[in-house]
Amino acid sequence: MPDWPDLYLTRHGQTVWNAEGRMQGRLDSPLTPMGEAQARRLAWLVQDLRGVARYASTAGRARQTARIAFGKQGFIADERLHEIDIGAFAGRLSSELRLDHPQIFACHGLGWYDRVPGGEHFAGLEARVRSFLNDLPGPALIVTHGITLRMLRAVAMGLPPDRLDEMPVFQGALHLVSRGRHQVFF
Protein backbone atom coordinates (compact mmCIF):
# COMPACT_ATOMS: atom_id res chain seq x y z
CA MET A 1 0.00 0.00 0.00
CA PRO A 2 1.46 3.41 -0.94
CA ASP A 3 2.23 5.86 1.83
CA TRP A 4 -0.56 8.33 1.08
CA PRO A 5 -0.57 11.75 2.76
CA ASP A 6 -3.19 12.49 5.41
CA LEU A 7 -6.65 12.95 3.88
CA TYR A 8 -9.31 15.12 5.52
CA LEU A 9 -12.45 14.12 3.65
CA THR A 10 -15.87 15.72 3.73
CA ARG A 11 -19.10 15.19 1.87
CA HIS A 12 -20.96 18.17 0.48
CA GLY A 13 -23.89 19.43 2.53
CA GLN A 14 -27.44 18.17 2.00
CA THR A 15 -28.94 19.19 -1.34
CA VAL A 16 -32.50 19.65 -2.54
CA TRP A 17 -32.23 16.33 -4.41
CA ASN A 18 -30.76 14.53 -1.35
CA ALA A 19 -33.83 15.64 0.60
CA GLU A 20 -36.13 14.39 -2.18
CA GLY A 21 -34.35 11.02 -2.53
CA ARG A 22 -33.32 11.92 -6.08
CA MET A 23 -30.09 10.47 -7.48
CA GLN A 24 -27.56 13.13 -8.53
CA GLY A 25 -24.45 11.44 -9.92
CA ARG A 26 -23.06 13.94 -12.43
CA LEU A 27 -26.11 16.19 -12.21
CA ASP A 28 -26.48 18.85 -9.54
CA SER A 29 -28.84 20.60 -7.17
CA PRO A 30 -28.21 23.39 -4.64
CA LEU A 31 -27.68 23.01 -0.92
CA THR A 32 -30.70 23.17 1.35
CA PRO A 33 -30.63 25.40 4.46
CA MET A 34 -29.60 22.24 6.36
CA GLY A 35 -26.79 21.69 3.83
CA GLU A 36 -25.56 25.24 4.37
CA ALA A 37 -25.60 24.64 8.15
CA GLN A 38 -23.59 21.43 7.62
CA ALA A 39 -21.03 23.41 5.60
CA ARG A 40 -20.77 25.97 8.43
CA ARG A 41 -20.21 23.05 10.82
CA LEU A 42 -17.38 21.88 8.56
CA ALA A 43 -15.89 25.39 8.70
CA TRP A 44 -15.74 25.02 12.47
CA LEU A 45 -14.22 21.52 12.23
CA VAL A 46 -11.43 22.58 9.84
CA GLN A 47 -10.69 26.05 11.15
CA ASP A 48 -7.42 25.00 12.82
CA LEU A 49 -6.07 22.85 9.98
CA ARG A 50 -2.84 24.36 8.67
CA GLY A 51 -0.47 23.18 5.98
CA VAL A 52 -3.08 21.27 4.00
CA ALA A 53 -4.05 21.90 0.41
CA ARG A 54 -7.78 22.38 -0.13
CA TYR A 55 -9.68 20.66 -2.94
CA ALA A 56 -13.28 20.23 -4.04
CA SER A 57 -15.17 18.36 -6.71
CA THR A 58 -16.18 20.49 -9.67
CA ALA A 59 -19.88 19.84 -8.91
CA GLY A 60 -21.80 22.93 -7.81
CA ARG A 61 -22.91 21.35 -4.53
CA ALA A 62 -19.32 20.55 -3.55
CA ARG A 63 -18.02 23.98 -4.60
CA GLN A 64 -20.87 25.65 -2.66
CA THR A 65 -19.94 23.62 0.43
CA ALA A 66 -16.22 24.40 -0.01
CA ARG A 67 -16.85 28.16 -0.33
CA ILE A 68 -18.70 28.10 3.00
CA ALA A 69 -16.36 25.67 4.79
CA PHE A 70 -13.05 27.13 3.56
CA GLY A 71 -14.04 30.79 3.65
CA LYS A 72 -11.32 33.01 2.20
CA GLN A 73 -8.73 30.24 2.09
CA GLY A 74 -9.73 29.16 -1.41
CA PHE A 75 -9.51 25.71 -3.00
CA ILE A 76 -8.70 23.87 -6.19
CA ALA A 77 -11.64 22.34 -8.07
CA ASP A 78 -10.67 18.94 -9.49
CA GLU A 79 -12.87 16.92 -11.85
CA ARG A 80 -11.42 13.65 -10.50
CA LEU A 81 -13.28 14.29 -7.22
CA HIS A 82 -16.71 14.37 -8.90
CA GLU A 83 -19.32 11.79 -7.91
CA ILE A 84 -19.53 8.46 -9.71
CA ASP A 85 -21.44 8.70 -12.99
CA ILE A 86 -24.72 6.81 -12.68
CA GLY A 87 -25.70 7.08 -16.32
CA ALA A 88 -29.43 7.01 -17.03
CA PHE A 89 -30.25 6.84 -13.30
CA ALA A 90 -29.15 10.45 -12.70
CA GLY A 91 -32.02 12.77 -11.80
CA ARG A 92 -34.39 9.91 -10.97
CA LEU A 93 -35.96 9.15 -7.61
CA SER A 94 -34.27 6.25 -5.82
CA SER A 95 -37.65 4.78 -4.88
CA GLU A 96 -38.78 4.74 -8.54
CA LEU A 97 -35.51 3.20 -9.72
CA ARG A 98 -35.83 0.37 -7.21
CA LEU A 99 -39.33 -0.39 -8.52
CA ASP A 100 -38.39 -0.08 -12.20
CA HIS A 101 -35.10 -2.03 -11.99
CA PRO A 102 -35.39 -4.66 -9.25
CA GLN A 103 -32.77 -6.87 -10.93
CA ILE A 104 -30.12 -4.12 -10.62
CA PHE A 105 -30.96 -3.46 -6.96
CA ALA A 106 -31.17 -7.17 -6.06
CA CYS A 107 -27.48 -7.16 -5.16
CA HIS A 108 -26.26 -6.31 -1.68
CA GLY A 109 -25.74 -2.69 -0.55
CA LEU A 110 -23.95 -0.38 -2.95
CA GLY A 111 -23.24 -3.04 -5.56
CA TRP A 112 -25.93 -1.59 -7.82
CA TYR A 113 -23.51 1.23 -8.75
CA ASP A 114 -21.54 -1.40 -10.66
CA ARG A 115 -24.65 -2.46 -12.60
CA VAL A 116 -26.08 0.88 -13.76
CA PRO A 117 -26.61 1.07 -17.54
CA GLY A 118 -24.23 3.65 -18.98
CA GLY A 119 -22.60 4.25 -15.58
CA GLU A 120 -18.95 4.69 -14.71
CA HIS A 121 -18.84 1.71 -12.33
CA PHE A 122 -16.36 1.25 -9.49
CA ALA A 123 -13.35 0.51 -11.71
CA GLY A 124 -13.66 3.90 -13.42
CA LEU A 125 -14.11 5.72 -10.13
CA GLU A 126 -11.17 3.90 -8.56
CA ALA A 127 -8.91 4.89 -11.48
CA ARG A 128 -9.92 8.57 -11.10
CA VAL A 129 -9.36 8.51 -7.34
CA ARG A 130 -5.95 6.82 -7.69
CA SER A 131 -4.90 9.43 -10.24
CA PHE A 132 -5.88 12.21 -7.84
CA LEU A 133 -4.10 10.60 -4.87
CA ASN A 134 -0.96 9.96 -6.92
CA ASP A 135 -0.77 13.69 -7.71
CA LEU A 136 -1.11 14.90 -4.10
CA PRO A 137 2.03 16.66 -2.87
CA GLY A 138 1.01 16.42 0.78
CA PRO A 139 -1.93 16.46 3.23
CA ALA A 140 -5.25 17.44 1.67
CA LEU A 141 -8.66 18.69 2.79
CA ILE A 142 -11.27 17.53 0.28
CA VAL A 143 -14.96 18.24 -0.31
CA THR A 144 -16.43 15.47 -2.43
CA HIS A 145 -19.44 13.11 -2.61
CA GLY A 146 -20.70 10.03 -0.81
CA ILE A 147 -19.47 7.27 -3.12
CA THR A 148 -16.31 9.12 -4.12
CA LEU A 149 -15.46 9.74 -0.45
CA ARG A 150 -15.88 6.03 0.24
CA MET A 151 -13.61 5.14 -2.69
CA LEU A 152 -10.95 7.64 -1.56
CA ARG A 153 -11.01 5.98 1.87
CA ALA A 154 -10.90 2.46 0.41
CA VAL A 155 -7.92 3.22 -1.82
CA ALA A 156 -6.03 5.07 0.91
CA MET A 157 -6.68 2.23 3.37
CA GLY A 158 -5.82 -0.54 0.90
CA LEU A 159 -9.35 -1.97 0.85
CA PRO A 160 -11.17 -3.42 -2.19
CA PRO A 161 -14.28 -1.68 -3.59
CA ASP A 162 -16.53 -4.46 -2.28
CA ARG A 163 -15.93 -2.98 1.20
CA LEU A 164 -17.56 0.38 0.35
CA ASP A 165 -20.77 -0.77 2.05
CA GLU A 166 -18.94 -0.88 5.37
CA MET A 167 -17.92 2.78 5.18
CA PRO A 168 -20.46 5.20 6.58
CA VAL A 169 -20.31 8.79 5.33
CA PHE A 170 -21.79 11.70 7.23
CA GLN A 171 -22.68 15.13 5.92
CA GLY A 172 -21.29 17.84 8.18
CA ALA A 173 -18.53 15.56 9.52
CA LEU A 174 -14.80 15.31 8.87
CA HIS A 175 -13.30 11.93 7.95
CA LEU A 176 -9.55 11.59 8.52
CA VAL A 177 -7.55 8.84 6.85
CA SER A 178 -4.00 8.72 8.17
CA ARG A 179 -1.51 5.86 7.85
CA GLY A 180 -4.23 3.52 6.62
CA ARG A 181 -6.59 4.22 9.54
CA HIS A 182 -9.89 6.09 9.65
CA GLN A 183 -11.40 8.46 12.22
CA VAL A 184 -14.51 10.63 11.98
CA PHE A 185 -15.07 13.96 13.74
CA PHE A 186 -18.47 15.55 14.26
> Does 145 qualify as catalytic in the annotation?
no
> Does 12 qualify as catalytic in the annotation?
yes
The active-site residue, picked from 12, 82, 145, 175, is: 12
The active-site residue, picked from 20, 79, 83, 121, is: 83
Angle at 117 between CA 101 and CA 92, to 5 degrees: 60
Task: Of 95, 84, 85, give the one whose Cα is nearest residue 20.
Answer: 95
Q: Exposed, middle or buried, 149 (CB in 10 Å: 0-12/13-18/19+)? A: buried
Residues 6+ apart with CB under 8 A from 91: 22, 23, 24, 27
Distance CA 78, CA 144 (A): 10
Q: How many CB atoms lie within 10 A of CB 81?
A: 24
Distance CA 186, CA 173 (A): 5
Q: Which residues are catalytic?
A: 12, 83
